[in-house]
Amino acid sequence: MERRDRAVATFLASAPLGEAGTTIDLPEEAAHHARVRRLEVGEAVRLTDGAGMRGAGTIALLTKSRLAVQLTEVEPAAALSPIELLVPVGDRDRMLWLAEKCTELGIARWTPVLFHRSRSVTPRGEGEGFRAKVRARMAAALEQSGGAWLPEVLPERPLGEALAAVGASRRLLLDAGGEPLRPPAAPEPVALCFGPEGGLEPEEREQLLAAGWVAATLGTNTLRFETAGIAAVAVLRAAHPRPMEGSDG
């Protein structure tokens, strides 16, 4: 029985995509996903390498542990304006939810920050094992959304070290005392920081403001950190949803 009305599945390749005509072997979990979706040899699929390349092809081989796709088309995807997130180390499930949704929205970098109030959270999302879970959740979100860019995931670090590693010149701190969040007039790299449940300590807020971060608010309601992060990224991305002018991916 043919099922031509279903959406074409997208898979994340673990290596850069080659040229059209080459065959790409995908990880074992991709084979499992394909079998769950009841895909068959010869069916059309899409690939992304998470580094700016997208491809289309057909399933050449599908076994219990192996999925191979023959590429029929490969093309670069132009980059969106980068959004760096400084996210609070907090509740594990909330951090994973945030990572998933912000990947769908097209963030470029994820840096977890150990704020003072992060220490009181149990269980909190930190360590290499948790970073692997974040990467896996992001990979699944990239496949689901058909994106081309997998965010860079950095280890958690203290606030001062996280600030020193930020590359964007426009730096926004979500803070109830700021002006309403307004995206830049033209696409440009943006860094976005927000505190943990319970908020920032006064000295942490002052450290950010002294480092040139500009306070911005999403409204009068108190939002959980994952809600605030998703909402802020959506505001920034909705203003400039297209690739930056002159970007070649």
Please give the chain's pLDDT, 249 residues, in tens: 334 445 789 999 988 898 899 999 998 999 999 999 999 999 999 999 999 999 999 999 999 999 999 999 999 998 889 999 999 999 999 999 999 999 999 999 999 999 999 999 989 999 999 999 999 999 999 999 989 999 999 999 999 999 999 999 999 999 999 999 988 888 899 999 999 999 999 999 999 999 999 999 999 888 999 999 999 999 999 887 766 554 444
The predicted pLDDT at position 79 comes to 86
CB 121 within 8 A of CB 90: yes
The predicted pLDDT at position 184 comes to 83
Phi, psi of 144 (to 5 degrees): -65, -35
The predicted pLDDT at position 3 comes to 42
The predicted pLDDT at position 71 comes to 96
The predicted pLDDT at position 81 comes to 92
- The helix/strand/coil state of 119 is helix
pTM of the model: 0.89
CA pair distance 42, 211, nearest whole angstrom? 55
- Cα distances from 189 to residues 14, 166, 200, in angstroms, run 27, 10, 24
Task: For residue 113, give both structure tokens.
Answer: 């920050």
Q: Is the dihedral of CA 111, 92, 106, 184 positive or negative?
A: negative
CA pair distance 139, 150, nearest whole angstrom? 7
CA pair distance 239, 184, nearest whole angstrom? 8
